[in-house]
Amino acid sequence: MSSLSTRNLTLLFWVHFFGTISFLQPVLTLFYIKNGLSEANILVLLICWSGAVLIGEIPTGVFADRFGARVSFLTGSIIKLSSIGILLLANSLEMFMLFSVLNGLSVTFFSGADEALIYESLKKDNKQQKMDEAMGKIQSAGFIAMMIAVLFGSFFARDLEQEQFQLLILLSMVSYIVEFVLLLFIQEPSGKVSIPGTSIENVLEGVRVIKQAPRLLVMFLNVTLVFIPTVAVFEKFDQPLMIGSGLPVYFIGPVYAVGALLAFFSSRSIGMLNKNLSYSVLMYTSGLLSAFGLLLAALFQNQLWIILSMVLFLRWVGAIRYPIYSKLSNNIIPSHVRATTISLLSILDSLFDLVIFLLLISFAAEGIQGVLFGGAAVALIGSSLPIQQREKLRSSPINR
């Protein structure tokens, strides 16, 4: 008979595999455009998604504490399945907005609760020291699923016909139904699986850490102001850029697959890069080059080789910047409020998402080029903010 941790980790691997498959993802923006959405409309959908995540983060954490991780997962799975089902009928901006809100909300039912369940399951079998290994294996399922989905999705939607889009939506729904069934077999450890960092004392201490560490906040802004335009926004418009510059639809999947492989191996070679360049230099250089990359994409939209180079380069940048930031920031944050402080910064990140998406809507009147020009300006500001290492902050006396 398998142990609790082995059972749950195996189930969560396949839950993550089927739950992250989105056959529509490699052509999602083209699906939006085919249904009459403009660049500004697509940014509105990003605002809806981020707003739902921001509003839902705390209430769904309380929900998971009250009803348990499994019920939280099942609820999130049902909401996600419902959101994808809306795409079968969506023919107006309002319907797509409803999809984005529900899809963003579904994510929050998994946020935090999954890591808590994994840790408590390992702890039950005295294997909590293997948390990083367990997380790595589960996250690898998402990578495999994404590779399959982008190759399959771009090939089957190569003519951009409505029937092809609907087939991809239905296949995604089948995957999410499998995810829901697998979640029914999750077994929670005896006792309460608590979501870390929810006490008032920890929240106040996290706020104190951020106030006392302006360099942490500036470092966070450097990462966020570069990430939002170069990853969150650019990845919503790279599909029409590739098609507009002459790439066949069925080649989008292979391009994404190459980008994913590049990101996968790059994220594991950060230590090697650090042997020759300091983390600060890597952050400054990658940020400035990202801003320059958006500018190139805006100026040379019809040059396929430039667009493909930028798609791959920006995926590489996204893969190396966050791990570096994570290392530098965790050197500053005290251990006992690390989860809370990171959660507070995540809320700030969602707020900045909303602000920047709203800002870029004003550039969307000029089409994708205007959005990229605006994004390049934001990324340039972010990449110019100082990155400095600092000794870890001391805890307040009450927590010593």
| DSSP per position, 310-344 | HHHHHHHHHHHHHHHHHHHHHTTS-GGGHHHHHHH
| Residue 390 phi, psi (nearest 5) | -150, 155
Quick check: do 4-183 and 200-385 share a fold? Answer: yes
Contact 247, 304 (CB under 8 A): yes
CA proximity to 284, closest of 309, 320, 310, 259: 320
The domain ranges of the chain are 4-183, 200-385
Helices (H), 68-92: 69-89
Which CATH fold would you assign to the domain 200-385?
Answer: Growth Hormone; Chain: A; (1.20.1250)
Distance between CA atoms of 21 and 327, rounded to whole angstroms? 29
Residues contacting residue 140 through CB under 8 Å, at least 6 positions apart: none
Counted residue by residue, the chain has a size of: 400
Q: Quick one: pLDDT at residue 132?
A: 59
Q: Quick one: pLDDT at residue 121?
A: 79
Contact 112, 61 (CB under 8 A): yes
| Radius of gyration, alpha carbons of the chain | 21
pTM: 0.83
Q: Quick one: pLDDT at residue 272?
A: 76
Q: Quick one: pLDDT at residue 229?
A: 94
The correct answer on CATH 1.20.1250.20 for the domain covering 4-183 is: yes
Residues of the chain with pLDDT under 70: 1-2, 112, 128-129, 131-133, 135-136, 190-206, 267-268, 330, 333-343, 388-400
Distance between CA atoms of 19 and 28, rounded to whole angstroms? 17
Q: Which two tokens stand for residue 140?
A: 């690898």
